Every structure is written in C-alpha cells, then in structure tokens.
Chain A
C-alpha cells in the first residue's frame, strides 16, 4: 500500500516545525527525527513506560501512541523547553541536587509528568508524588530520589522560584 505523505506543522517549545510525513508516523518520531529534539525517548512503543511523555496543549500525552498528524496545529512542550538561556530550571536543579537520575533515559518523561503533577497539586505528599509518576518506569533509581527531587521542586516553587515553562504552557497565572 503506497500512502501519500501529508504536510504537518506544530509548535514545539514555542518554535514552529514542519514536515512531510506518512500518516502512520508516530509523534515521538516526528519530534526526534523531523524536529531533531532527541530528549524525548522511546522505551516501549506501546504506552506503558512513559519515556515518550510530552505536553500537548497543556496535558501530558504518550507521544508513541499519537500520530504526528494528530498534533497538527498544536502546542507541544518537551524536555528541551525547560531550561532557559542555558540555565537549568528549578525542577531540573531539584533533580540534579537530589540525584534524581542515573542513566537519564526515563528522566525527560518524568520531568514532563512532574510538571503536570505539580501544577495540579502544588504540595503533594510522598504518596501523591508516587501515584502521579506511576505511569513512568525507571530501571535505575528505585524511584526514591525521583520522589525526593519532585518534593524538592515543590518546595522551590513554594519558596518563589519560577519554572519558566509553566507560564509558557499554561499562561501567566501558571
């Protein structure tokens, strides 16, 4: 079956990207290949590991279960959108300071999930953090320092530190 390619365009981290893709091209592949943003990873390709988690129109989605053409005209945010002017964001600093990653493969997906979790619940309990990231699998850390890092990020936000991407994704009120 020979299928014609389709033009697609979307905003990723505030920048416009265009491509010519087969309908079956997965969004995660468009992000990694057409947009050359390889921070988003592919772990399982069937929606269970969370490594491909990105924000689309303000909500986390599995980009391996979404076709690129479904993101036509949408606003996407990936891990590359967190740091600003070469500076790590409070969330990223929290992970660095609390040893929240080892190999780093799951980390981008976990950071995107953490952004949504902390937006919905600015001071989550340990249990709530664990439930909030339960859709992301990590093979290295045993999750303990991930949970610690997210709790630390919540404290940074409470102390007034701003996560630059939040205003960009969800507006000034954050």
Chain B
C-alpha cells in the first residue's frame, strides 16, 4: 500500500531537528532515520505520522570515533559503515559480528544504529548488542542533552525512555578488552530475517574460572534483557559444560515469550536455553 499523507521536514542540524521535534511531537511528529523499519509500517498504514522529520541530512550525526574507553557512534551512522569499520572490528568485534546479521546489505546501507535502537524491536540485533555490552545513549531535548544507560533506555516493546521531544543523537559502546571471550547466536527461519530468538555472551576468565559473565537475550520477551540469574551461576565458578547447561536453564527461566505465527512461547524459551549454551561455548573458545 501507499503511505498516508504527511508533511516532510528536513533539518540540517541537530538543534533544528530538536526544535522541530519539540514543535510537532505531540501532533504525530516522527523522526525518519534509515526508514527500514518505519517506512514499512507507514506503507502498511500501521503508522501514520503527520510530520516526518528526516534527519538523514544531519552530517554531524554520522561518525564512529574512539573516545577513551568508549566508541562513540553518531545516530545516523549506517549499519553498513559499522560493519566495515576497522575501528569497530578492532575495539568492539562483537558489534561488527552482530551487524552482519541485520537484514541484508541493501538494508544495512540505509539502516542506522540510532534508528534501530530507538525503534527497539525486541527481535532486532542492535538493542541486544547494546544491552550485552552496556552501551549508553545520548538524548537531546529542548533543554539539553542527557546520557541514559541502556538498561534504563530500553523500556519495553517498541518503547524507550526517550521523551516525545527528544532525539537520540549518539550511542556509545564500551571498548571491549582484548581478553574478553564473546559470541552472538541467532536463530531465524532464513538468514537476514528478524531473529526468532538471539543470545549474546561475554566472558572474562582466569585459568578456566569465570571472573565476569554477561548474557543477553532478545526475542524471548517484550524487550532484550540481561539473563542475570544465568550470569550469577557462572561467576567465580569453573566453566564446565554442566555449568553452561545450568546457565542455559536459568536464562530460559527468565524469558517472557509470546506465541505468534513465527514461534510458540515454549519454543522461544527452548531456543533461549540452547542459544545461551552455544553462545557461552563460543565465547569460552574466544577467551584469551
């Protein structure tokens, strides 16, 4: 179908964009970033914004920089640029790996890191990666900027902590330590589909004993979440296959999945356990 009518605005700077959002947010105003999620919704007429604020022209939001212990990525940085960034490959390899699972090249040419995380589809890859890595979000409103930790930012299904008149301007990912073992596992019917369930793991170990573990799961609840109960059974313990299996069970216990046309709730819980186990094994193999 064709989308419903809207007025189109194309600010050139962040200040302009924030001013427009402040003016039109309460009157069905919406930010247009890559459009790879929003425009399908508009073409289906499930979303009918009255004012479309296109931020693709704001060059100041297109960057990947190292900033101390962080990698700062501007909101409209294309997923394809993240995929091909030597800096990301070196300092945050999990983010690069996760990016390869987002749709297809053509989608990644336009899709943006800011748009993806602000949309917060529970089956998308970037919200999960952000949750796993402990990212921070910068949001700009009419009264200034604020930094929001990712676990506060991702609230629930398609909902974030952004106020209606706030623009996501930057996502910061912590630089990964070179000794960290990492892994990302996704199950989908076809490569490039939205995940049915996805899981990521980070491990820091000392001679076979887990010093620090982080596990995040997407697609098995209304929002990506940290499987903290699974992390807890791992910390301070020798990483055996039995312990990994236990962590998988604990992760499955934290899921709140829905049944839909793609998978039943039970299957999603099952996938969460299996993918957690596989991610932990893969992360273990990468530990240095």
Let me know if chains A and B touch directly in the complex, using CB atoms closer than 8 Å. yes
**Interface residue tally for chain B (C-beta within 8 Å):** 30
CB-CB under 8 A from B3, the residues of chain A are 24, 26
A69-B8, A132-B105, A135-B105 known; A64 and B56 CB under 8 Å? no
Contact of B103 among A6, A29, A135 (CB under 8 A): A135
CB-CB under 8 A from B40, the residues of chain A are 46-47, 65
| A53 pairs with B6, CB closer than 8 A | no
Q: Give the CA-CA distance A134 to B35 in the complex, in Å.
A: 20
B4 is an interface residue with CB less than 8 A from chain A: yes
B39 is an interface residue with CB less than 8 A from chain A: yes
Nearest to A1 among chain B residues (CB) is B5
- A36-67 CB mask vs B (1 if < 8 Å, else 0) is 00000000011100100100000111101111
| B56 pairs with A26, CB closer than 8 A | no
Q: Give the CA-CA distance A66 to B35 in the complex, in Å.
A: 7
Q: Give the CA-CA distance A47 to B34 in the complex, in Å.
A: 12
User: What does DSSP make chain A's interface, helix, strand, loop or mixed?
Assistant: mixed
**Interface residue tally for chain A (C-beta within 8 Å):** 31
| B104 pairs with A135, CB closer than 8 A | yes
- A58-97 CB mask vs B (1 if < 8 Å, else 0) is 0111101111011000000000000000000000000000
- A121-144 CB mask vs B (1 if < 8 Å, else 0) is 000000000011011000000000
A-B contact pairs, 25 of them (CB 8 A): A1-B5, A1-B50, A3-B5, A23-B6, A23-B8, A24-B4, A24-B5, A24-B6, A26-B3, A50-B104, A59-B109, A60-B105, A62-B36, A62-B106, A62-B110, A65-B40, A66-B35, A69-B8, A70-B56, A113-B105, A113-B106, A116-B105, A131-B191, A134-B104, A135-B106
